[in-house]
Amino acid sequence: MADAAVDGARGVLVAADKFKGSLTAVEVAERVTAGLRRVVPGVRVEALPVADGGDGTVAAAVAAGFERREVRVAGPLGDEVTAAFALRGDTAVVEMAEASGLQRLPAGVLAPLTASTHGSGELLRAALDAGARTIVFGVGGSATTDGGAGMLAALGARFLDAGGKPVGPGGGGLAELATADLSGLDPRLASVELVLASDVDNPLTGPKGAPAVYGPQKGASPDDVETLDAALAHYAKVLEEAVGAKAAEYAASPGAGAAGGIGYGALLLGARFRPGIEVMLDVLGFAPALERAGLVITGEGSLDEQTLHGKAPAGVAAAARNAGKEVVAVCGRLALPAETLGRAGIRRAYPLTEIEPDVEKCIAEAGPILERVAENIARDFLV
């Protein structure tokens, strides 16, 4: 039985994140639009691909009208890569994963102790060179656990061992840190609004810190996790000697542990921490698009417990519910009961597995299956 039709005349807003490994956020919007129009040819659909600060953030900004800028920077292992940031006016969106993300590692290679965020610092510098006065720094999907030391070094900081030489790259190198000097940081940083956009609120170290929670995803063994946690704690202690008590305060702050501790480095630069999806909805112009919509379609690859903790669909649904809009979600896989979805502001979820139970097929043929899912949404809500 079809759901009661919403005010389809006001149009549909598709504000979904990527289906990781299958479809970009832009492709999700295209496929949903195609499916809706197959059932309701004249329906007005507005696409606003979204991201929560992790990988895909620059692409979402470009889809919303930002200009894509490319620059050569150091990848996580020091080899040069082409990374992009997004610019509109004097606002830049910088995604650390573009320079220092897992996708920048060679296939099958993980470097939990030595991967560096140096390229992320170079990306921030490129945004400053482009005239940015506000920088939204989206962090997530990192290959690194270096507490942002590489990023800070790229921006002018110095991290030296007992012999006065620069410490080695990555979190592992910080065990040898003897002195830290932030006096050479790029002076332009002092007059820029830097926003740390992240969907995690972990501190730098400890049982909920960056190494313990996220290190294993980057290839860290239990011994590596112990090494990295001790090295980052030592790093924060040396920084406390260099810049005072705020270094210890930042290490314990929510978001410090984001993306292998690059959140900590950003806080040392004066960044303000905000949930990534909230920042991105502001930057992308979600509020005016929401006003024009009768139905909102959000989603991501897997709707699960993690979704509820700051991921894009939860942020979209919360904002839409506050505006009194009907929200449905599309996803590859659904692992939340209807009551939980309802509490999050999502009226109903449409997983690809409802149409194609074979998960491998869902991943391989996500686009066509998503179009069929969107046809069902149109029948249920727009007809």
Write out pLDDT tens, residues 337-374.
999 999 999 999 999 999 999 999 999 999 999 999 99
Say if 95 falls within a structural domain.
Answer: yes
Q: In this structure, are 38 and 177 located in the same domain?
A: no
Average pLDDT for 325-333: 97
Instruction: Give the torsion sign (CA, 177, 179, 180, 181).
Output: negative
Joined together, the tokens standing for residue 88 give 């509109």
Location of structure tokens 């942020």: 315
Q: Give yes or no: residues 108 and 205 share one domain.
A: yes
Query: In this structure, is residue 348 part of a structural domain?
Result: yes
Question: Which of 135, 121, 263 lies closest to 199 in space, CA to CA?
Answer: 263
Strands 295-303 and 12-14: parallel
**Cα–Cα distance, 280 to 115 (Å, whole number):** 27
**Residue 258, SS3?**
helix
Residue 69 in any domain: the answer is: yes
**What are the pLDDT digits (tens) for 199-247?**
889 999 999 999 999 999 999 999 999 999 999 999 999 999 999 999 9
Does a structural domain hold residue 300? Answer: yes
The token duo for 162 is 């007992």
Q: 32 with 61, same domain?
A: no
Domain boundary among 277, 311, 333: 277
* Parent domain of 194: 57-277
Separation between Cα atoms, residue 240 and residue 177, nearest integer Å: 13
Maximal CA-CA distance, the chain: 74
What's the pLDDT score for residue 137? 98
Q: Which of 245, 277, 309 is the last residue of a domain?
A: 277
Q: Which residues contact 357 (CB under 8 A, 6 or more apart)?
A: none
Residues 22 and 112 in one domain: no
Q: Could you tell me if 213 and 88 lie in one domain?
A: yes
Residue at 2 is within a domain: no
Residue 283 maps to a domain: no
Q: Which of 165, 253, 258 is nearest to 210 (CA)?
A: 258
pLDDT greater than 60 at residue 4? no
The CATH number of the domain holding residue 111 is 3.90.1510.10
Q: What is the pLDDT of residues 132-166, one digit of tens each?
A: 999 999 999 999 999 999 999 999 999 999 999 99
For residues 186 and 236, membership in a common domain is answered with yes
pLDDT at residue 310, as a whole number: 83
Phi, psi of 83 (to 5 degrees): -120, 155
In the predicted model, is pLDDT for residue 2 greater than 50? no
**Could you tell me how far CA 192 lies from the centroid of its own chain?**
21
- The tally of domains found in the chain comes to 2
Kindly state whether residues 233 and 364 are assigned to the same domain. Answer: no
What number is the average pLDDT over the span 15-31? 95
285 part of a folded domain:
no
Cα–Cα distance measured from residue 238 to residue 180, given in angstroms and rounded to the nearest whole number: 7
Q: Are residues 223 and 260 in the same domain?
A: yes
3-state secondary structure of 12: strand
DSSP assignment letter at 154: H
Whether residue 192 sits in one domain with residue 340: no
Please compute the mean of the pLDDT values over residues 35-64 and round it to a whole number: 94
Same domain, 273 and 296: no
Could you say which of 277, 311, 336 is where a domain stops?
277
Same domain, 137 and 209: yes
- Is the pTM higher than 0.75? The answer reads yes
Q: What is the mean pLDDT of the chain?
A: 95
Q: Is residue 282 part of a domain?
A: no
Q: Please indicate, yes or no, whether residues 90 and 234 belong to a single structural domain of this protein.
A: yes
Model pLDDT, residue 54: 86
